[in-house]
Structure 1
Amino acid sequence: MRRRESARSTKISWESGNLEGTLTDSAICHEERTIPGPGGNIALGILRSKNSAGGLRPAIYYTYGGVMVFGTRFYEIGTTFEYIKQLDVVVVSVEYRLAPDHFDPAPVEDCFAGLQWVSEHATELGINSKKAVISGLSAGGGLAAGIALTARDRGGPDLLGQCLIYLMLDDRMSTVSSHQYILYAAPSRATDLSSLPPTWIDVGTAEVFRDENTELHVWPGAWHAFDIYAPDTEIAALCLETRMAWMKRTLEPVSMNERNLL
């Protein structure tokens, strides 16, 4: 009980204050939607460029981190701003139920319900439903991987790719890095990884989740969330540039007809 109360106090301290104040980029506008979910209403934050070319745009469905015990749809949302400005994508950030009050699969089911709603209302939101990438960092990366598996198993919505950033993937604590540095839904326990979309994973060498990730970019000397807390370092700049290039390739229209649609 003491551990549960400690986690709840941590969650409250991180969620206090005006998190919407993080939406400070003058080139970006946002709207709020509230939708029904499996455990109550779900809040969605929808961000787009004020200078958007219009029409149906590619989308990034964003699941925030926070060890699954704290955070809101605005947590670390700034990591998506360059995608919005450079690639003219619509970002949808979903809020999900948190531990210790809610256990797996509550967060995944909330996020999946949000993804379904976005797919069903894509035209209304100005989104091309065939151009959707899911992205998350840390705990959000693990959720994103779980959502992609759920979407595959339930027949959609289809995803163009996964951008998984130093994600929490495995709960078995059996890797070298997990013992070097220090749960939750564990996508790594899935035995069938067929029919999943192309996936980007990056992680630092000095990182607790390093060995949980298989097909990945490993950044030497980097620690968890290094691109957020040390963005001016050379390794962070290289990481962000390489990640942006992958996102651009993934979302690039594959035909002239599709380019005209966008």
Structure 2
Amino acid sequence: MGFLNRVDPELVPGLSDMEVVKSPTSSNELQAFRQDYARLLRDRAKAARPLEGIARDDFEVPCFDGAGTLLLRRYSPKSVITPAPAIYWIHGGGMIVGSVEGDDIYCETLANETQVIVLSIDYRLAPENGSATPVEDAFAGLQWAVEHAGLLNIDPERVAVAGGSAGGGLAAGVAMLARDRYGPRILFQHLLYPMLDDRETTISSQEFSGIPSWSPENNRFAWQCLLGPAVGTSEVSPYVAPARMPDLAGLPPTLIQVGELDTFRDEDIDFAARLMQAGVRTELHVYPAAYHAWDVYNPAARLTVQAYRDRNEAFRRALWDQ
């Protein structure tokens, strides 16, 4: 059965947007993709109804290497009692595209539905900034946020990390850095169809060639942008490609969500199994007939509503039921 025949009919309309904003497979396509993707997100933001109960403000955070600053955006429910729990969100985009602004709608909705403060970090992208730069920037932003908990009105003992796609992989890497560097205490991690492995050894990493959604060709190009000639070799750090981490013990309780028709399906399932084997409390959802980032392109679909309900319940248990 072909890919399109396997997709949930309610999710088919989202594939049209993916066809218009075609993910890149070469450097020649990257700049056009960045422009088209940013335009799509701006159009969606204009069409969305603003959430009146969420305040938004910005902070400047030093890059991990001191070469400038990063944008950290805070989304605060106006009714929340502070210091409040915090979700530290890391945007997706294959580490080659994406921004804080592109995830404004998602983060506002997340803050509203969980009634916690959401912090979103704008790490530097590849190929202009390769190797460990994105994960080190994201970790530096988390450290800054916890050190400035009073300024941000957050409870430093109730912090979760989260991210989608590349951001999910970065969230996993940040949790590993926090564990191994005795960094901020992370209470929970939410990995939404995370990008975890540069080696392309699973069935799903090869299964969906040429699809409108994120494909093996897109994934290969993104990893090459980040890692250059080191991609697929033993030189790659497990903090950059978290599936390579040999020891997963001591990581925070985890929720992983992925679609059945996602290029990342098998690496995500394998990562969840290894977390459980390492004694980490782990919840795994594989959503039938769903492709990569289906929720972004079909926000009203029943499968999206279900996935967000599962997510919100996991955050409630982790951050409020103490």
Q: Same fold (TM over 0.5)?
A: yes
Task: Between 119-128 and 43-52, report the one with greater CA deviation.
Answer: 43-52
For 2:27, the equivalent position in structure 1 comes to 4
* Aligned equivalents of 2:156, 2:182: Cα separation in 1: 14
For 1:45, the equivalent position in structure 2 comes to 73
For 1:141, the equivalent position in structure 2 comes to 168
Note if 1:162 corresponds to 2:189. yes
Preserved contact between residue 137 and residue 166 of structure 1 (Cα < 8 Å): yes
* Aligned equivalents of 1:161, 1:67: Cα separation in 2: 23
Preserved contact between residue 75 and residue 107 of structure 2 (Cα < 8 Å): no
Q: 1:66 to 1:57 in 2, by over 3 A?
A: same
- Letter of the 2:54 partner, please give it: I
- Letter of the 1:36 partner, please give it: P
Q: 1:36 to 1:17 in 2, by over 3 A?
A: farther
- 1:205 aligned counterpart, secondary structure: strand
Note if 1:189 corresponds to 2:217. no
Offset of 1:85 from its aligned partner? 1.8
Q: 1:56 to 1:253 in 2, by over 3 A?
A: farther
- Letter of the 2:150 partner, please give it: T
Larger RCO: 1 or 2 (CA < 8 Å, sep 6+)? 2
* Aligned equivalents of 2:296, 2:159: Cα separation in 1: 24
Matches within 5 A, 1:16-27: 19=42, 24-27=50-53
Return the TM-score normalized by structure 1.
0.89
For 2:59, the equivalent position in structure 1 comes to 33
Q: Percent identity?
A: 37
Preserved contact between residue 23 and residue 78 of structure 1 (Cα < 8 Å): no
Offset of 1:242 from its aligned partner? 1.3
Task: Between 209-218 and 106-115, report the one with greater CA deviation.
Answer: 209-218
* Aligned equivalents of 1:245, 1:26: Cα separation in 2: 23
The structure that is strand-richer by fraction is: 1
* Aligned equivalents of 2:148, 2:255: Cα separation in 1: 26
- Letter of the 2:62 partner, please give it: P
* Aligned equivalents of 2:303, 2:106: Cα separation in 1: 16
For 2:315, the equivalent position in structure 1 comes to 247
For 1:204, the equivalent position in structure 2 comes to 259
Return the TM-score normalized by structure 2.
0.73
- 1:192 aligned counterpart, secondary structure: coil
* Aligned equivalents of 2:302, 2:29: Cα separation in 1: 37
Q: 1:86 to 1:232 in 2, by over 3 A?
A: closer
* Aligned equivalents of 2:93, 2:136: Cα separation in 1: 17
**Structure 2 unmatched ranges of 5 or more:** 1-24, 209-215, 217-222, 227-239, 273-283
How many residues align structurally? 252
- Letter of the 1:40 partner, please give it: G
- 1:34 aligned counterpart, secondary structure: strand
Offset of 1:16 from its aligned partner? 5.8
Q: 1:108-146 CA distances to partner (integer Å, 9 max, x unpaired)?
A: 111111000001000221100010000100111011111
- Poorly superposed stretches of 4+, deviation over 6 Å: none
